[in-house]
Structure 1
Amino acid sequence: MLALGDVICQTMIEKRQFDWMRLARFSAMGAVLGPVIQVIYTVMERKIGTKVTPINTVKKVSIAIRFIKNVAVDQLLCSPVLLATFMTCIGLMEGRSLAEVKEKLRASYLDILIANYKVWPLVQMVNFAFMPLNYRVLFLQGVAVGWNTFLSWKMHQEPLKKE
C-alpha cells in the first residue's frame, strides 16, 4: 500500500516523470512495515486485550477503556517511532546524508505527526472496536492508501539539496 500511495502521488498529484527507484524504496518500506505492524497489534491484543463482547454496562466501560488504551499505545508510542523510522529509512535509501535526514525530520516530522493525529486515532478506534485481529492490518491498509499518498507527497514536497 505504500507503493500504491507513491504511485498515486507521482502520477496524480505531482504529475512528474515517474521515479521507479522512489517506488522501489516505498515498496521496500511497505514490505518491512506491514509485518512489523501485525506483530505490534498481536502483542497489544495479548497484553491489553481488545475483545469486543459488551454483555453489560461494566463490560462496556471496560472495553471502552481498553480501546482508549490501544489507541493511546498506538498513537503515542508506535506512530511517532514508526514515522521517524520511515522518514529516516526513506532519506537514507535516497542517498541522503545523516545531516540531510535530520534536517528533513526537523522540517517535516512535526507537520506529518500532527496530520497523523488528525487521521489515525479515529481510524484506530474503528479498527480496535470492530475489526477482528486478523483483519486489522488489511483494514488499515485500505485507509493507508490515502495516507501513503500524503506521505509520499510530503516526503518529496521540499526536496533537500545534495551537499
Structure 2
Amino acid sequence: MMLKLWKWYQNCLAVHPVKTQVISSGLIWGFGDIAAQTITHSTAKKRLQISDEDKELKINWRRVATTSLFGFGFVGPVGHFWYEGLDRFIRLRLQLQPKSLRFVAAKVAIDGIIFGPLDLLVFFTYMGFSTGKSVTQIKEDVKRDFVPAFLVEGGIWPIVQVANFRYIPVRYQLLYVNFFCLLDSSFLSWLEQQQDAAWKQWFKSFLNLKE
C-alpha cells in the first residue's frame, strides 16, 4: 500500500511538480495545526486553564484552513522554486561539487540566512492579517514571537538540512522538509497562540536590556 502511494506521488511529482508540492504542503501544514491545537488544549487542560465546558477538544477548522492556506500559498510554491534554484545556484554559480562538504555547508548557510527568517516573517504576518489584526499589532506579534521561534528553529533546522542536502534528491527535498514542517507548523501555530506567555516576556525583556 505504502509503495503504491509512493509511486503515485512520484508520478504526480514528475507530471505536475509545482501542483504536487503545493497540495502536499497545504495538507501537511493543516495537519500540523490540528496537532498544535491538540497539544495546546492538552497543555491547558493539565494546567486547569480551561473551564469544564471546554474540556472536550473542539478543533477550530477556520484556523486549520488558514494555516493550510499558508502551506498552499507560500510553502509549496516558494519552497519548490527555492530548493530548485538554490541547487542550481550552488552548482552553476559557485561551482561546488554536489554532496561535498562545502556544497552542503553553503546550502545550509544560505537556507538558514535567507529562507528561514523569511518563512517566519511571512508566517507571523500572514497569521496576523488572517485574524484581522492591524499592522501595529502584527509588528508587536512579530517582535514578540520572531526571536523565540528563530532561536529554537536555528538549533534544529541546520541539522535537518544537512541530511536533506547531503542525501535527498532535489525533487524530494521539499517533501522531506514538509515532514519536519508537520512538527514545525505545530510549533509555530502553538507559539503564535501563546500570546504574551511569561517565557516570551523574558525574551522581550532580554532584548530590551541589550538595546
Q: TM-score range by the shorter chain?
A: 0.7 to 0.9
CA distance in 2, matches of 1:139, 1:78: 16
1:13 and 2:40 equivalent? yes
1:69 matched residue in structure 2 = 106
TM-score, with structure 1 as normaliser = 0.86
CA distance in 2, matches of 1:143, 1:72: 18
Task: State which of 78, 82, 100 in structure 2 corresponds to 1:40.
Answer: 82
CA distance in 2, matches of 1:134, 1:6: 25
Q: Contact 1:9–1:152 at 8 Å: present in 2 too?
A: yes
Gaps of 5+ in 2: 1-27, 43-56, 92-96, 197-211
Give RMSD over aligned pairs: 1.6
1:51 and 2:98 equivalent? yes
Q: Contact 1:80–1:113 at 8 Å: present in 2 too?
A: yes
CA distance in 1, matches of 2:37, 2:85: 35
Q: Once the 2 structures are TM-superposed, how far is the Cα of residue 13 of structure 1 from its aligned partner?
A: 3.1
Q: Contact 1:67–1:128 at 8 Å: present in 2 too?
A: yes
Q: Contact 2:83–2:170 at 8 Å: present in 1 too?
A: yes
Code of the residue aligned with 2:35 in structure 1: it is I
Q: Contact 2:84–2:171 at 8 Å: present in 1 too?
A: no
Code of the residue aligned with 1:92 in structure 2: it is F
1:91 and 2:125 equivalent? no
Q: Once the 2 structures are TM-superposed, how far is the Cα of residue 82 of structure 1 from its aligned partner?
A: 1.6
CA distance in 2, matches of 1:12, 1:108: 18
CA distance in 1, matches of 2:137, 2:98: 44
Q: Contact 1:14–1:153 at 8 Å: present in 2 too?
A: no
TM-score, with structure 2 as normaliser = 0.67
Q: Which has the larger radius of gyration?
A: 2
Identical-pair percentage: 28
Q: Contact 1:3–1:24 at 8 Å: present in 2 too?
A: yes
1:124 matched residue in structure 2 = 161
1:30 matched residue in structure 2 = 71
CA distance in 1, matches of 2:145, 2:39: 22
Q: How many residues align?
A: 150
Q: Contact 1:3–1:26 at 8 Å: present in 2 too?
A: yes
CA distance in 2, matches of 1:82, 1:144: 11
Q: Once the 2 structures are TM-superposed, how far is the Cα of residue 119 of structure 1 from its aligned partner?
A: 1.1
